[in-house]
């Protein structure tokens, strides 16, 4: 059984990968467990040096990795390169603080007892990573896990499995082989890995419902679980705000990565005295976006990664209008010339006519391959 990954811009085939299952999956779990037993015995300074070596391998493939991000989930290439750069900034910081963070904690003596807290490796960390920031999310787990003496089984999103491969290629064949193992799994096999007694920690990034599901499965074994789930994020523009700064950052906060961020701005509350000027500036900023092929340098907003989002987004816009909003800009499908096999919805902004209304949000995981953009709701 295999999975096909399609470019959300034009629906071309990016890659086709076989799922890990049966004896092949068992062999990978067993190898990770064996690697964990070896890796935990490596001194901290040597571990950090090997992690840096893995990062340099990753750096050597930076341009290919960025292009793979764009082809798999539609992030404009400039933003994909920015994500690659953030990988190294975060990794460098985590490696810098690792010696202090992992040092024994010496407690005050008590009744002639010498007391200390030692930080011991857990073993095998199972990381379920999300597609919207397919490099930053896993590196936040991989680098601290490896530094602390653990190994990582990485199950990436079905939308971005090549990112999982990139981490395995960088960290999987160092002095201790198998420090990071990429897995391509069905939901059933994912549950099997969570239930495996050789897995010692679970880290999940994704939807609230997905978090509930993996937490229930992990609870059967009483293992530690780290969850990073969704958010509902407003912005407020106060009466004394720097209006130009507020416009630029709230619009960017809504539209960066096509709005596909857990911390994306979903609605903006603006002081009444600034509302008209804010709306004029926001409209100009929204209409300046250049949709297109995410691999082209001039593209500033790419397609959504999920199928069905164009219809879903139009429904959100119409729902907001039905509840009293007026459409300031965008909100209608553009001709298919920009997207070879789909429509395009220019970024809509929806200021209210009167009263309060639940503004439309950025698209969620059930949505289309056709390129489109998020909705920005504005309340005076």
CA-based end-to-end distance of the chain: 52
Q: How many CB atoms lie within 10 A of CB 249?
A: 16
d(CA 176, CA 273): 62
Q: What angle do CA 207, 373, 299 make, to 5 degrees?
A: 120
Yes or no: say if 67 and 295 are a contact pair by the CB < 8 Å rule.
yes
Q: Which of 100, 228, 263, 314 is catalytic?
A: 228
Q: How buried is residue 288: exposed, middle or buried, by Cβ count under 10 Å (0-12/13-18/19+)?
A: exposed
Residue among 21, 61, 262, 296 flagged as catalytic: 262
Catalytic annotation present for 262: yes
CA 233 to chain centre: 16
Residues 261 and 305: beta-carbon distance below 8 Å: no
Residues in the chain: 380
For 266-308, where are the alpha helices, taking DSSP H only?
Answer: 275-287
DSSP class of residue 98 equals H
Helix (H) or strand (E) run with residue 6 in it: strand 2-6
Q: What's the CA gap between 184 and 164, in Å, rounded? A: 9
Question: 370, 339 in Cβ contact below 8 A?
Answer: yes
**Which residues, in sequence order, are CB contacts of 201 under 8 Å at separation 6+?**
122, 123, 124, 125, 126, 145, 150, 223, 224, 225, 226
Q: Which residue, 233, 229, 284, is CA-closest to 254?
A: 233
The H-or-E segment that residue 210 falls in is helix 208-219
- Known catalytic residues are 228, 262
């Amino acid at each position: 059984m295999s999975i096909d990954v399609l470019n959300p811009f034009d629906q071309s085939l990016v890659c086709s990968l076989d799922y890990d299952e049966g004896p092949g999956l068992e062999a990978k779990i067993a190898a990770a467990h064996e690697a964990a037993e070896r890796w935990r015995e490596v001194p901290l300074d040597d571990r950090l040096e090997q992690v840096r070596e893995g990062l340099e391998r990753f750096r050597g493939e930076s341009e290919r990795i960025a292009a793979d991000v764009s082809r798999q989930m539609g992030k404009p290439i400039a933003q994909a390169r920015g994500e690659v750069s953030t990988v190294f900034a975060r990794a460098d910081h985590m490696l810098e603080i690792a010696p202090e963070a992992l040092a024994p904690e010496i407690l005050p003596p008590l009744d002639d007892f010498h007391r200390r807290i030692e930080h011991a490796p857990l073993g095998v960390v199972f990381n379920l990573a999300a597609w919207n920031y397919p490099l930053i999310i896993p590196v936040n787990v991989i680098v601290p896990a490896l530094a602390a003496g653990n190994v990582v089984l990485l199950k990436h999103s079905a939308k971005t499995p090549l990112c999982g491969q990139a981490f395995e290629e960088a960290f999987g064949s160092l002095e201790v082989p198998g420090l990071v193992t990429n897995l391509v799994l069905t939901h059933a096999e994912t549950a099997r890995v969570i239930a495996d007694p050789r897995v010692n920690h679970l880290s999940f990034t994704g939807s609230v419902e997905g978090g509930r599901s993996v937490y229930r499965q992990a609870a059967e074994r009483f293992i530690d679980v780290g969850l990073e789930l969704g958010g509902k994020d407003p912005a407020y523009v106060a009466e004394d705000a720097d209006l130009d700064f507020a416009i630029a950052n709230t619009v960017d906060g809504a539209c960066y990565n096509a709005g596909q961020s857990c911390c994306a701005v979903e609605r903006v509350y603006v002081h009444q005295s600034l509302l008209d000027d804010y709306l004029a500036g926001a409209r100009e900023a929204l209409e300046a976006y250049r949709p297109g092929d995410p691999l082209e340098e001039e593209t500033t907003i790419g397609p959504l990664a999920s199928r069905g989002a164009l219809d879903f987004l139009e429904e959100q816009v119409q729902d907001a209008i039905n509840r009293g909003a007026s459409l300031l800009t965008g909100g209608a499908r553009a001709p298919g010339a920009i997207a070879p096999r789909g429509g395009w919805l220019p970024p809509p902004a929806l200021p209210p006519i009167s009263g309060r209304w639940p503004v439309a949000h950025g698209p969620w995981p059930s949505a289309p391959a056709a390129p489109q953009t998020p909705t920005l709701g504005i309340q005076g």
